[in-house]
Chain A
Amino acid sequence: MTTTTTSPVLTATGVTMRFGGLTAVRSVNLEVHPGEIVGLIGPNGAGKTTFFNCLTGLYVPTEGSVAYRGTVLPPKPHLVTQAGIARTFQNIRLFANMTVLENVLVGRHTRTKEGLWSALLRGPGFKRAEAASKTRAMELLEFIGLADKADHLSRNLPYGEQRKLEIARALASDPGLLLLDEPTAGMNPQETRATEELVFAIRDLGTAVLVIEHDMRFIFNLCDRVAVLVQGEKLIEGTSDVVQSDERVVAAYLGTPFEGAPGAEEAAEVEAAEAGATTGATPDEAQRGTTARTEDGQ
């Protein structure tokens, strides 16, 4: 489990995102600790991607703040990446007409600083930095298993490899926290298994991971902790077991209508409807468990 003594890599406090009348994310708090793999699940349109965009500065949150290792981040994507949070996209966004290696080299951008002058003058420093970037990029390609395709255009890679390449590109900025937005979407079971191994390997390298996913098996195998987002609000957060057995989570995924905010009454209704059938932890207990864990984390 997690090391609860260290300070969190990510602290999102009261993050709210409104698009006109639509509140896509409503005061969500979330922490990710070093060495943790945290899952973020929720039905389609729950606001998961929007939450990621708020974390990475692509959207400026209407309210709330995001801090990395205790420092509040400005809502500028390049500064967020510079600070140490890297991400992948739900819809693959590789640089389609660059080679696989070049894609990863672009990921090194924040960790190198050779500017125009140094490129024009090509001094020894430039050559050294360029060689070092290439070495690091090849290491990463080796790590995800795409080294033999370094010179292919990324658009020509099969879908699964494109997703892997996005991960390598994100890792190239040596992040302390990696955000993965549905990394196994469109993958077959073997590829999903491989991605699971990959995420563990990334965690073992010392990068915390926050992952959005629909594949429940994937999430519950992988994550130390899972947060559930429903209609922009965090419904519950806790260990896989706790979340898995939570009635409201089941209900959210089965599509029981949640009117407005998923308040206590609705939860209670759902509970009542299925009270007799289930054993497991009651929502109350689950809630308490979660709270306990969050406090642990602090």
Chain B
Amino acid sequence: MTTDKTQPTAVSEAQGGATAPRTTLLRVLTAAGGAAAVASTFLAWTWTAEFPGDLTVYGYPGGLQLLTLVLGIATGVFALAALDLKGLRWLTPSGSTQALRMLALGTFAVTWFTVISIAVDLDGLVNLEPGGWIAAVVTAVPVATTFLLPDDSRQLRRPKELPSWAEILIIAAVFALGLYVVNYGIQTDADHPEPFIGYLIAVGFAAVALVKAGLVSRISELTSAYRSTTLVAALITAIVFPFFQDKSSFTELGVNIAIFATVALGLNIVVGLAGLLDLGYVAFLGVGAYTAALVSGSTASTLDVRFPFWAAVITGGVVSLIFGVVIGAPTLRLRGDYLAIVTLGFGEIFRLAMLNLDGTSGPSVTNGPDGIPNIPPLEIFGFNFNDDHSFAGLSLDSNGNYYLLMLLVTILVVLIFSRAGNSRIGRAWVAIREDETAATAMGINGFRVKLIAFALGATLAGVAGAVWAHFQSTVVPEQYVFAGPVPPNSTFLVAAVILGGMGTIGGPLLGATLLYLIPKKLEFLQDYQLLAFGIALILLMRFRPEGIVPNRRQQLEYHETGQLDVPGATGLKDGAVGVTKAEA
């Protein structure tokens, strides 16, 4: 085994030799460009406060200028790190140029987006103050200089040993920063699309920059070294989220995101681990929701019972489980795409059945299109979920209560996913997904193992549905469609899993968050949501088929050249893998 340490792109200067004067000059110019961009945000960019965010004030930045400010600072600081300034070198463990390019591009994109929106929204370039022109020009400078810089990507540089309290502090800081960034996005003004688009541009470029600089790898090293600390930090971050929201509607966004993210994660067991394409997953959510609504004691319910919440949740889960087994048992004996077709059909049948069980077309169970409204608010141990509560001076409204409850369900599903995935049964799922024939020949009862995955997925959806019904206080059939403009629908869930990354925990959570938040914030998109979905998925399949958060396995699968985990392996393209499915 020859371990080839030298990177073809790494110029020797990166290893500490003398830096070419031209490179130094370009880096200085980049830093100056970043500083100029920062300075420009202190100027007025337009004369009227009609443009969202009030960019009219000299002296302090506002609205979209803040994004230029932050990215400008980042460009400057990373450029200084590239200049080997003492104390900043930790910023670029795997090279500075590519990160700088991304930051410079991000600054440029956000600024130009702002300036162009001002011109378009307010009808004409005359609406730009000199500050806007200056910003547009100075942010172009770092783009030019960074693209002239030589690429200095290298293998991850070993970081300095830090005391463990410092490393734990870093983890805490990362989560705090993450919470801030998410909060910023959630709290952008939903009446105007500009701030949120700017936010997406900025976050997108900054995220790529952090990956390129190697900071993301560095942080994932830290988080895997301090697993329990990371879990606690994640938990605290998630718990404090509702306390930071100044509007109830923001917390409501949080609840919905938590629900859809949880459902997407449940679907990921079925799709990502076991490789079963379930196109009617939303129906299981519906089964749970309807069951919980029927036993909730709602005045509109045809059942005259009132279960306590825990019993309603269990009932929802169990009924979903039964439906899962009934659908799965005949279908999972067959191979391949039958399941996709049957689940697609089940999804539609469920919706139609709920519509028709109205007492005229069929037995009276669900009130047809009116659904089951007036689901009474939850009450657990005398804690009414519709009232405001305050703990230690922090107050929590109804949405906050449901958010924390939903968070509990999310944690449960995350736990189930990671424990099941990392066990004998989880390995059997992945084996079935990889090669069903070989898996059965290794002694795996394919049908049984697939049925367990399918039923587990259905149960988790049922549990989430039960909580959702109480949160919404109503269930109607039209929420459970195959594809539609508002989540949850099966397409949304499958897309969240694929976009985020199949087989991972973070993927569906992130995917569902993005897919839910983006249409919510960009109302103009709603009419075109399905079109945008389609385009986004096509682009994704072309450029990043493994999803945003790649599973280590998939990343290798789609990017052969990666060889991430085999330091010295020589290429093996002799068809060793390509022929697998040829013959039993």
Asked if A and B bind, the verdict is yes
Listed in ascending order, the chain A residues whose CB lies under 8 Å from chain B are 49, 53, 56, 58-59, 76-78, 81-82, 86-87, 89-98, 102, 105-110, 112, 114-116, 118-120, 122, 126, 129-130, 133, 151-153, 155-159, 162, 169-170, 173, 186
On whether the beta carbons of B430 and A114 are closer than 8 Å, the reply is no
Listed by A's residue number, 20 A-B pairs whose Cβ atoms lie within 8 Å are A58-B437, A78-B441, A78-B444, A78-B446, A87-B441, A89-B438, A89-B583, A92-B580, A95-B438, A96-B434, A97-B554, A109-B424, A109-B444, A120-B415, A126-B423, A129-B424, A152-B565, A152-B566, A156-B556, A157-B576
On whether the beta carbons of A120 and B416 are closer than 8 Å, the reply is yes
What is the chain B residue whose CB lies nearest that of A122? B419
* Residue from B427, B570, B579, B584 within 8 A of A58 (CB atoms): B584
* Residue from A53, A98, A120 within 8 A of B427 (CB atoms): A98
On whether the beta carbons of B416 and A159 are closer than 8 Å, the reply is no
- Residues in chain A near residue B566, CB distance under 8 A: 152-153, 156
Listed in ascending order, the chain B residues whose CB lies under 8 Å from chain A are 415-416, 419-420, 422-428, 430-431, 434-435, 437-446, 452, 456, 553-554, 556-557, 563, 565-566, 569-570, 572, 574, 576-577, 579-580, 582-584
Counting chain B CB atoms within 10 Å of each CB, which of A49, A92, A129, A151 scores highest?
A: A92
Task: Please name the 6 residue pairs, one residue from A and one from B, whose CB atoms are nearest each other, closest first.
Answer: A110-B443, A119-B423, A81-B443, A97-B553, A93-B438, A95-B434
What is the chain B residue whose CB lies nearest that of A115? B425
On whether the beta carbons of A92 and B444 are closer than 8 Å, the reply is no
How far apart sit A285 and B424, CA to CA, in the bound complex (Å)?
54
On whether the beta carbons of B577 and A96 are closer than 8 Å, the reply is yes
- Residues in chain B near residue A116, CB distance under 8 A: 420, 425, 452, 456
- Residues in chain A near residue B428, CB distance under 8 A: 106, 109
On whether the beta carbons of B424 and A133 are closer than 8 Å, the reply is yes
How far apart sit A87 and B443, CA to CA, in the bound complex (Å)?
11
* Residue from B423, B438, B563, B565 within 8 A of A151 (CB atoms): B565
How far apart sit A120 and B554, CA to CA, in the bound complex (Å)?
25
On whether the beta carbons of A114 and B435 are closer than 8 Å, the reply is no
On whether the beta carbons of A91 and B579 are closer than 8 Å, the reply is yes
On whether the beta carbons of A119 and B426 are closer than 8 Å, the reply is yes
On whether the beta carbons of B419 and A120 are closer than 8 Å, the reply is yes
Q: How far, in Å, is B258 (CB) from chain A's closest CB?
A: 21
On whether the beta carbons of B423 and A130 are closer than 8 Å, the reply is yes
How far apart sit A122 and B566, CA to CA, in the bound complex (Å)?
31
**Assuming A76-B440, A94-B580, A102-B430, what are 18 further A-B pairs, CB within 8 angstroms?**
A78-B440, A91-B580, A94-B435, A95-B430, A97-B556, A98-B434, A106-B427, A107-B442, A109-B424, A109-B427, A109-B428, A119-B425, A120-B419, A153-B553, A155-B577, A156-B572, A157-B572, A173-B442
- Residues in chain B near residue A90, CB distance under 8 A: 583
- Residues in chain A near residue B553, CB distance under 8 A: 97-98, 153
* Residue from A94, A114, A130, A133 within 8 A of B438 (CB atoms): A94
How far apart sit A91 and B556, CA to CA, in the bound complex (Å)?
21
Given contacts A96-B434, A157-B572, contact A112 B427 (CB under 8 A): no
What is the chain A residue whose CB lies nearest that of B422? A119
* Residue from A122, A151, A156 within 8 A of B569 (CB atoms): A156
What is the chain A residue whose CB lies nearest that of B416? A120
How far apart sit A271 and B577, CA to CA, in the bound complex (Å)?
44
- Residues in chain A near residue B579, CB distance under 8 A: 91-92
- Residues in chain B near residue A93, CB distance under 8 A: 435, 437-438, 441, 580
- Residues in chain B near residue A153, CB distance under 8 A: 553, 556, 565-566
How far apart sit A107 and B444, CA to CA, in the bound complex (Å)?
9
- Residues in chain A near residue B423, CB distance under 8 A: 114, 118-119, 126, 130
How far apart sit A102 and B440, CA to CA, in the bound complex (Å)?
16
On whether the beta carbons of A119 and B424 are closer than 8 Å, the reply is yes
How far apart sit A222 and B556, CA to CA, in the bound complex (Å)?
38
- Residues in chain B near residue A162, CB distance under 8 A: 576
What is the chain A residue whose CB lies nearest that of B415? A120
- Residues in chain B near residue A94, CB distance under 8 A: 435, 438, 580
How far apart sit A67 and B444, CA to CA, in the bound complex (Å)?
20
Q: How far, in Å, is B275 (CB) from chain A's closest CB?
A: 11
On whether the beta carbons of B425 and A158 are closer than 8 Å, the reply is no
On whether the beta carbons of B569 and A152 are closer than 8 Å, the reply is yes
- Residues in chain B near residue A87, CB distance under 8 A: 441
On whether the beta carbons of A102 and B427 are closer than 8 Å, the reply is yes
- Residues in chain A near residue B415, CB distance under 8 A: 120
Given contacts A106-B427, A109-B443, contact A59 B584 (CB under 8 A): yes
Q: How far, in Å, is B291 (CB) from chain A's closest CB?
A: 22
- Residues in chain B near residue A86, CB distance under 8 A: 442
What is the chain A residue whose CB lies nearest that of B560? A155
What is the chain A residue whose CB lies nearest that of B584? A58
- Residues in chain B near residue A78, CB distance under 8 A: 440-441, 443-446
